[in-house]
Structure 1
């Protein structure tokens, strides 16, 4: 019987957008019985969140998705050109080193959801549509959720756990009283359209562009179907005006910000008006109910981070919840989900509020902004630098900048001698110990590293992979590629979490400290 056919699942995921789908995939691939319901009778159409950053592509890879096919369906995000009023344009490459996916991808959200839905179906779980969560009641061992069907019927589901991934208007969040701290950004609005265009808009049309002028801000991005996304942050003269804007209103805003009077739109679609606000839930967990994605945090859609942040929520939560459901960890492990992910949302909301320009208030110092960009490597948006050094799961020895220490993302390394990739090992979704001997060519050194790593790992049921020059004792790394990527030239012990972040780092002889850390966090 498929998980979708089980009326009383171990986990009920409410919402089948990218975040709900990713959560369900992470649970289902670990053997958790999961159901996914969504209020919409059909998947929502439109490009919506169309920028997929580098770390999100890595996450999809680690989840086992066919990322190569996905890349082939989108547009490679190669450059960002900044246009500041009164200054020369600044062209910056979007590529980042140290990842198998150096460039972001531009692709419609409906295509992302289709990819995830197919993969979830391959795991035996199909989205159940036309079901709206209307009530949530928690008990000591189960959560009772009432689902209203489109035909007027009401279904009752009793799940061990519930994940609310419905978006900003979340029944689960409201029912469990998680709070919703909402900060509006009055006086401005975001007007958006996907359209083909003609005119003298400056710059390479294959690039993404950002214009900042006194009238407001304007972003553009090429899309797979030949259209471009245009999104303009401008003053909002009539806040009572509701409904999506017509083409003429969006075109007028784009012309005013860009100063290009001969611009024309053709074949426009998905016109959209957004009154901007940031909101973060007061807590991400109440009892057996958890929140992820826009149900946990809704941020102004001006830096293309909302969906990407939600996917990282799902990737963070899925393995933790699976471990608790299957009795491999206590519910205390779930405390680390909010501890790690809520500060990320708060920081993103603060950054968006601080940096957004929508033609209202004091005009930003454009020259200063431009000069700061010339000194910035541009990695902040990518998700690659995200880390959890202060997490209750992180421990061990701090390291120099550029070396993955406690809480840091583990980079892929390919090849590490055999043509394999580290992500293929980590993508199994288990805890992993990587043991680097002080001398990778010395069997005695390898034996010592294996012994140091082994005792605690065996008790915790965590596999140990000893990395040597020959691979006789574990992983072959004859060129030292993996040692260099992880900064382990002098030897190291790394405990890697199921989501690919370092939980512990120590020297090759720090087995006792590794043992203590595993005992503390895997109990």
Structure 2
């Protein structure tokens, strides 16, 4: 039980998977009294969501998690090799520029949850296990939640707010009356196993592979324990069949798609059958109840986006809910959560439906698909999470840069800095709004004074720290950028004002003398 188990929390998080844990961490590190419960008596075993994309690693860094040790526990995702039937393999590096974490990580979900659980415990919050949310009722100031223990005991919690992160079967979603329409992929299924293997499967075994043939699709990925994840999307001859597949059934599917008839599996585990569907909740919030992760959107696990998208839900929601609970913003701030995150889920579901091939229906044009990948360049980086932006958010305002640098709603890159932080993420990772003021001339003290004055009024009233970025050392609050890397990365060579959100996205961008516009925006989003 947590230290707050005998009290009514300010926020109750229902579900202790990666999404619930990240939500609880974001709340707890901002001083919110939080409880987190999960129906399972023990954490769920298995590798499950094993791909952690670049932006998720950045998010973990911004949350203050021990990313270095986490990376050491996994396997680098270095390359992806595409095998289209009848065509030469296409090898593409997974590295992406502009981030401290250029490669994705392959690691079991249970290890991710262990890391998050340890960090949450360090913040004074323990996961309360064996407690199932069976009903809830909203009042004007509280949500009453009824829990049933694994031993049959009954508990009542009165929380200021409730976040449902239970997964696809969500008591919280049902209670708020949110729609949940599934769009299934009839006639196909996903068969999965973690296993060691021998045989003539083509390509470097250290790479991730994607095979497309008339029989369906197959993905493979190396895992930290020496096994490989195999997941095959193939025709489903018997939709009434229940239960997980045996090794022979998965092996047969993998052989048919890959053409490796001599392939053998050894020491297999976590055999899994999934009948695929996408679903997005009609709303993410009703009153004092909110949804995150698979409770808000369940997408086919064929693009390794479900957990990553859920973590970004939690990162988006956590600081907003904390600001409301702590009285630093009105509940209107929470309206931006659904406005920003639901379109992301809808687009992901649409892309999955459009691109998934499971051996049913017209065979995709493999040569055309391969040619598109050959010339994809930066356009093929959406899965990394790095290009994600919120330009149409109610929290985004100001002017887009004429050339280079992030505009309103865009992600801020991590850049080396001096004075107050060794890099920008260390400054942003403190978890508050931040103003960055770039003088027109970084070496002129008078220009720095003008930038500080323009930034100070609205930010000061709202308690937002201001950091003037100069070319040399200055007073407290100054960031030193002798190399000009920070100025160049943000496209601020002519001077600029930035209001950066607690999750590392630009809320406002303007010229260095746009202090009055910044003042109005700060007042609008934080009042």
TM-score tier, shorter chain, comes to over 0.9
Partner SS for 1:219: strand
Partner SS for 1:155: strand
Map of 1:515 onto structure 2: 519
Structure 2 gaps, min length 5: none
The CA distance in 2 between the partners of 1:392 and 1:305, in whole Å, is 25
Alignment of 1:251-400 (within 5 A): 251-377=251-377, 378-400=380-402
- Is structure 2 residue 493 aligned with structure 1 residue 489? yes
Partner SS for 2:316: helix
Map of 1:434 onto structure 2: 436
Q: 1:444 aligns with which of 423, 443, 446?
A: 446
Map of 1:193 onto structure 2: 193
The CA distance in 2 between the partners of 1:456 and 1:45, in whole Å, is 49
Partner SS for 1:5: coil
The CA distance in 1 between the partners of 2:105 and 2:307, in whole Å, is 13
Q: 2:467 aligns with which of 453, 465, 468?
A: 465
The CA distance in 2 between the partners of 1:359 and 1:130, in whole Å, is 40
The CA distance in 1 between the partners of 2:462 and 2:158, in whole Å, is 32
Indicate if the aligned counterparts of 2:164 and 2:292 stay in contact, CA closer than 8 A. Answer: yes
Indicate if the aligned counterparts of 1:6 and 1:35 stay in contact, CA closer than 8 A. Answer: no
- Is structure 2 residue 109 aligned with structure 1 residue 105? no
Map of 2:221 onto structure 1: 221
Report deviation, 1:463.
0.5
The CA distance in 2 between the partners of 1:48 and 1:387, in whole Å, is 27
The CA distance in 2 between the partners of 1:446 and 1:512, in whole Å, is 17
Alignment of 1:55-204 (within 5 A): 55-204=55-204
Report deviation, 1:417.
8.1
Report deviation, 1:5.
2.6
Report deviation, 1:414.
2.2
- The count of corresponding residues between Structure 1 and Structure 2 is 523
Report deviation, 1:460.
1.1
Indicate if the aligned counterparts of 2:417 and 2:479 stay in contact, CA closer than 8 A. Answer: no
Partner SS for 2:265: strand
Report deviation, 1:416.
5.3
Report deviation, 1:180.
0.6
- Specify whether residues 418 and 63 from structure 1 end up closer, same or farther in structure 2 by C-alpha distance, changes over 3 A only: closer
Indicate if the aligned counterparts of 1:136 and 1:176 stay in contact, CA closer than 8 A. Answer: no
Indicate if the aligned counterparts of 2:417 and 2:480 stay in contact, CA closer than 8 A. Answer: no
Report deviation, 1:380.
0.9
The CA distance in 2 between the partners of 1:398 and 1:32, in whole Å, is 35
Structure 1 gaps, min length 5: none
- Specify whether residues 375 and 446 from structure 1 end up closer, same or farther in structure 2 by C-alpha distance, changes over 3 A only: same
For residues 414-439 of structure 1, give each alpha carbon's deviation from its aligned partner in whole angstroms, at most 9, with x where no partner exists.
25589811100000000000000010
Map of 1:34 onto structure 2: 34
For residues 402-460 of structure 1, give each alpha carbon's deviation from its aligned partner in whole angstroms, at most 9, with x where no partner exists.
52000000010025589811100000000000000010001111000001101111111
Report deviation, 1:267.
0.2
Indicate if the aligned counterparts of 2:130 and 2:149 stay in contact, CA closer than 8 A. Answer: yes
- Specify whether residues 138 and 381 from structure 1 end up closer, same or farther in structure 2 by C-alpha distance, changes over 3 A only: same
Indicate if the aligned counterparts of 1:3 and 1:9 stay in contact, CA closer than 8 A. Answer: no
The CA distance in 2 between the partners of 1:195 and 1:3, in whole Å, is 41
Indicate if the aligned counterparts of 1:416 and 1:482 stay in contact, CA closer than 8 A. Answer: no
Map of 1:425 onto structure 2: 427
Segment drifting more, 264-273 vs 181-190: 181-190
Report deviation, 1:400.
4.5
Report deviation, 1:4.
3.5
Indicate if the aligned counterparts of 1:9 and 1:159 stay in contact, CA closer than 8 A. Answer: yes
For residues 202-256 of structure 1, give each alpha carbon's deviation from its aligned partner in whole angstroms, at most 9, with x where no partner exists.
0000000000000000000000000000000000010000000000000000000
Indicate if the aligned counterparts of 1:188 and 1:275 stay in contact, CA closer than 8 A. Answer: yes
The CA distance in 2 between the partners of 1:338 and 1:124, in whole Å, is 29
The CA distance in 1 between the partners of 2:80 and 2:401, in whole Å, is 32
For residues 80-139 of structure 1, give each alpha carbon's deviation from its aligned partner in whole angstroms, at most 9, with x where no partner exists.
000001111100000000000000000000000000000000000000000000001000
The CA distance in 2 between the partners of 1:161 and 1:43, in whole Å, is 24
Partner SS for 1:265: strand
The CA distance in 2 between the partners of 1:511 and 1:401, in whole Å, is 21
Segment drifting more, 368-377 vs 9-18: 368-377
The CA distance in 2 between the partners of 1:346 and 1:359, in whole Å, is 24
Report deviation, 1:175.
1.3
For normalisation by structure 1, the TM-score amounts to: 0.99
Indicate if the aligned counterparts of 2:12 and 2:163 stay in contact, CA closer than 8 A. Answer: yes
Indicate if the aligned counterparts of 1:3 and 1:34 stay in contact, CA closer than 8 A. Answer: no
Map of 2:479 onto structure 1: 475
Indicate if the aligned counterparts of 2:421 and 2:427 stay in contact, CA closer than 8 A. Answer: no
The CA distance in 2 between the partners of 1:404 and 1:41, in whole Å, is 45
For normalisation by structure 2, the TM-score amounts to: 0.98
Partner SS for 1:381: helix
Report deviation, 1:471.
2.8
- Specify whether residues 177 and 87 from structure 1 end up closer, same or farther in structure 2 by C-alpha distance, changes over 3 A only: same
